[in-house]
Structure 1
Amino acid sequence: MDVAEAFASLMSPDGRVDPYPAYERLRAHGPIVQTGPGVYAVTGHAEADELLRDARVRVLDEHLRDGVLPNWRESPAVSSIARSMLRTNPPDHSRLRRLAAGAFTPRRINAMREVIEAQTDELIDAMTTAGRGGAPVDFMAEFAYPLPVGVICELLGVPADDRTLFRRWTADLTGILEPEITAAELAVADAGAAELRAYFTELVATRRRRPTDDLTTALVQAHEAGDRLSGDELLANLVILLVAGFETTTNLLGNGLAVLLAHPRAADVLRQHPQHAPAYVDELLRFDSPVQLTTRLNAESVRLGGVEVPAGSWILLLLGAANRDPRRYPRPEQFDPWRAQLNPLSFGAGPHYCLGAALARLEAQVAFPALLRRLPALALGGQLRRRIRLTLRGYDHLPVTVGEPLPAEQDGTPAGAATGSP
């Protein structure tokens, strides 16, 4: 299969549901391949890692976007993403990231452990109630979504009663992150973005009247300070912090549980030895990344992997493929939490490394051991259904049966006792 056919198979609905065969077809032509005029795809781990850190390689910010899509400001979805830290370059990116970074320090994240443990146990209790008598429970709706959305909303100061609103809005908005999007899909993304912006406009007004100790208040105060944060940047970054704060973790939890249930011996080791959770989570991130790709433009010509990438090229960094590069990971198609080196690129690298990566890891490190220990008979309970998305890879529906549960304090092991490494 030539490069064009391999790339077409990746962009097809089947390729989006299961991209790994298409990645291997592309990889057969080299770690960097030209897939079209001015478009290059990267499957190599070393090459993707280097490009993510290269100052000559930039995200499509609003200034660069003007030359590609002059009417982008008319789209609520595009403008919400374009004015966020996700789509800004230095020095603006450094300024925006610094304003939000205080909520993601190691001290603040460690302080969230008890909140995550408590929410994990509450959600497992709710799953056992819903699953009595063997009734299937949708893990995505009952656990994988509410845990991370509760955590990020706690940081942002979003009232608990409002948290159910976000799943559809964000699912609609994130369609804009796909490498190809139809006019109908853009309209859906625009509607989701408009709902989110309206919600945060109201929350910002509330925080101006009644400041509290949350990230929304901190960003509002940065805006009030003058040139540190514009009004458009304030709303765009609140939206992206919410979306990024749970979409990736929701997919990590869903993808990860499906992998663990397909590997019962490995799951049993984690059940008995929760201290190995950090290694398990890193391998789950590598094996089935919740973020499969990111895009860049190179301001200057770049030569890498034996390929000259001319200035102004689109570069598709296929993170899911890089995480299965056999030059770095022997037998990459096997789930193996005992690998000597991991460093998956699921959260990116360089200046755009995911701000909330440590928080997402902590949520998964708490959740998986607790689920496996408290629900020893946890099993798939029906047909799994993938989202037809490539950039954000996850499930729409993941039915499970919970069996006979154990109480949270059964063996004296806290739900989140997941520190250390193998």
Structure 2
Amino acid sequence: MTALFDPRDPAVRSDPYPIYRRLRETDPIHQSHFGYWVLSHYADVDAVLRAPGVSSEFYRNTTWAQRRGGVDSPLVRSVRNWMLMLDGPAHRRIRGVISRVFTRGAVERLQPRVAAEANRLLDAVGEGETDLIDSLALPLPVTVTCELLGLPTDNRDQCRHWTEQISRVIDPSITAEDTVAMNRAETEFREYVTGELDRRRSAPREDILSLLVHAEVDGVRLTDHEIIANVLFLFVAGHETTVNLVGNGLLALLRHPDQLQLLREDPELIPGAIDEITRYDAPVQIVSRLLDEEVVLDDAVLPAGAKVMLLFGAASRDPARYADPERLDVTRTGIKTLAFSGGPHYCLGAALGKMETAVVLAELLRRYSKIELTGEELGWRPNVSFRGLQRLPLRLMH
């Protein structure tokens, strides 16, 4: 019998939405052959994200850790301190420090810098054909993250390379080669950040690194290992999500020219449209949880000890939550996307990622009277948890 859902299926990368629809319609609480419960209804996914006794600490699972190099590997030792991978007081301790940087006011103050960097990159692009992923969607968020953290932007290409390797850690379809590459990237990135931390101790600045070095929680400072691990995590979260949101969003609009035209005619719609394109083709498709306690859903009881895979992409097109969910509608209201997770692990950087995407889209529409796909093959990146394009070949005309 063919599995209803297999993250290794190439179709999950190229177009997962027919698979998601089949899951929702035939087996929405699906017991997979690879040991996970797979949930595809919005209400079920949302319920698990918010339920007590649900854990993000996947490093506790021996099989999960072994596939990533073992419990004592550089990568697993790092993720044991990622805010994303912690529960309860340990999670709140680190989140409480980092949340000081991602307030609404702080994000608004960053907008002019984001706009300036987007304009610099588009000045270099000019008119004609370009791969928008390589020329804009990739360099913009990594530059913003470097500046936010206080890392030299001269090293952004190397930081991007490390981030792309390390981001595979949450992917359910990693290979032995991925494990080697992830651990090598973690080791190199950690050594680089360690040098930057030493400089902040002697000469603090107005950046996240200085904040993390000197911040205290109940009179206790974060350890270097906690700081470095969460710098790596912030790069993964801030970079991967925004790259995919820009690329997926623009592709969706180009495939729905009537919706793109609405934004041209009324740019005030753009902020709300970011929520819709996030719903339509989520930059984060899959997250997983461990159940320390039983979780009761309307149609099933998930037992304590279960591993659960939450399909954000499927939930975002659930007709029980959104009317006509397969249609892109930039005027849609009442969107509560799960693409940035939910419950205690809701993404602190969601507002920053959406703001970056809104700035990019507004500037593209202001500069170019025509934005067209060239017809070249697009290609999707191998990571199935983060859904994003490898290339977005466009023809831009003033």
Do the structures match in fold with TM over 0.5? yes
1:190 aligns with 183
Tell me if 1:141 matches 2:139: no
Q: Corresponding residue for 1:167?
A: 160
Contact residue 317 and residue 325 of structure 2 kept, 8 A: yes
The letter of the residue matching 1:297 is L
Q: Trace 1:232-381 onto structure 2 (pairs within 5 A).
A: 232-381=225-374
Out of 22, 30, 35, the residue aligned to residue 33 of structure 1 is 30
2:382 is matched with which residue: 388, 393, 396?
388
2:39 counterpart of 1:42: yes
Contact 1:127–1:402 at 8 Å: present in 2 too?
no
Per mean C-alpha deviation after superposition, the further-off stretch among 236-245 and 12-21 is: 12-21
How well do the aligned residues superpose, as a CA RMSD in angstroms? 2.0
> Does the CA-based 8 Å contact 1:257-1:368 persist in structure 2?
yes
- Determine the C-alpha separation between the residues in 2 that align with 1:67 and 1:291: 23
Displacement of 1:40? 0.5
Name the stretch that deviates more: 286-295 or 220-229.
220-229
Indicate if the aligned counterparts of 2:75 and 2:183 stay in contact, CA closer than 8 A: yes
Task: Confirm or deny: 8 A CA contact 1:116 1:363 kept in the other structure.
Answer: yes
User: Aligned in 2, Cα 1:167/1:92: closer, same or farther, shift over 3 Å?
Assistant: same
Q: Which amino acid aligns with 1:146?
A: P
TM-score (norm 1): 0.89
Q: Paired residue for 2:395?
A: 401
- Residues 272, 364 of structure 1: CA spacing in aligned structure 2 closer, same or farther, 3 A cutoff? same
Distance 2:65 2:395 in 1: 48
1:17–1:389 contact (8 Å) kept in structure 2: no
Q: Normalized against structure 2, the TM-score is what?
A: 0.94
Specify whether residues 160 and 18 from structure 1 end up closer, same or farther in structure 2 by C-alpha distance, changes over 3 A only: same
Q: CA deviation at 1:344?
A: 1.0
Aligned partners of 2:286 and 2:384 also within 8 Å: yes
2:149 to 156, 170, 173: 156
Q: Deviations over 1:168-195 (max 9, x none)?
A: 2111111111113221211111122122
> What is the CA–CA distance in structure 2 between the aligned matches of 1:258 and 1:68, rounded to whole Å?
34
Aligned to 1:59: 56
Contact 2:14 2:379 in 1 (8 A): no
Matches of 1:140 and 1:223, distance apart in 2: 39
Deviation of 1:377 (Å):
1.5
Deviations 1:330-369 (A, max 9, x none): 2211111222321110001110000100111111122112
Once structures 1 and 2 are overlaid, which stretch shifts more, 72-81 or 139-148?
A: 72-81
Q: Is the 8 A contact 1:290 1:393 kept in 2?
A: yes
- The Cα of 1:224 is off from its aligned counterpart by 11
Residues 272 and 152 from structure 1, CA distance in 2 versus in 1: closer, same or farther, beyond 3 angstroms? Answer: same
Q: How far apart, CA to CA, are the structure 2 residues paired with 1:274 and 1:224?
A: 42
Q: Which residue of 2 aligns with 1:416?
A: none
Q: Distance in 2 between matches of 1:16 and 1:254?
A: 14
Deviates more, 1:51-60 or 1:87-96: 51-60
Say whether residues 1:15 and 2:12 are aligned partners. yes
Q: Write the letter of the residue equivalent to 2:78.
A: S
Distance 1:69 1:200 in 2: 24
Amino acid at match of 2:100: G
Aligned-partner Cα distance in 2 for 1:181–1:332: 30
Deviation at 1:61, TM superposition (A): 5.1
Q: Is the CA contact (8 Å cut-off) linking 1:298 and 1:314 kept in structure 2? A: yes
Equivalent position SS for 1:378: strand
Equivalent-residue separation in structure 2 for 1:344 and 1:248 (angstroms): 14
CA distance in 2 between counterparts of 1:307 and 1:243 reads 34
Letter in 1 for 2:291: N
Instruction: State the secondary structure of the residue aligned to 1:33.
Output: strand
The CA distance in 1 between the partners of 2:34 and 2:20, in whole Å, is 20
Query: How far off its partner does 1:239 sit?
Result: 0.7
- Of 16-25 and 240-249, deviating more is 16-25
Q: Return 317-326 or 111-120, whichever deviates more.
A: 111-120
**C-alpha distance in 2 between matches for 1:194 and 1:344:** 34
In the alignment, does 2:174 pair up with 1:176? no
With over 3 angstroms needed to count, the CA separation of the structure-2 counterparts of 1:169 and 1:89, relative to structure 1, is same
**2:45 & 2:92 partners in 1: Cα distance?**
21
Q: For structure 1, which runs of at least 5 residues remain unmatched after alignment? A: 405-422
Task: State the shift of 1:226 in Å.
Answer: 7.0
Q: Is the 8 A contact 1:286 1:324 kept in 2?
A: yes
Number of residue pairs matched? 395
The residue that corresponds to 1:104 in the other structure is: 102
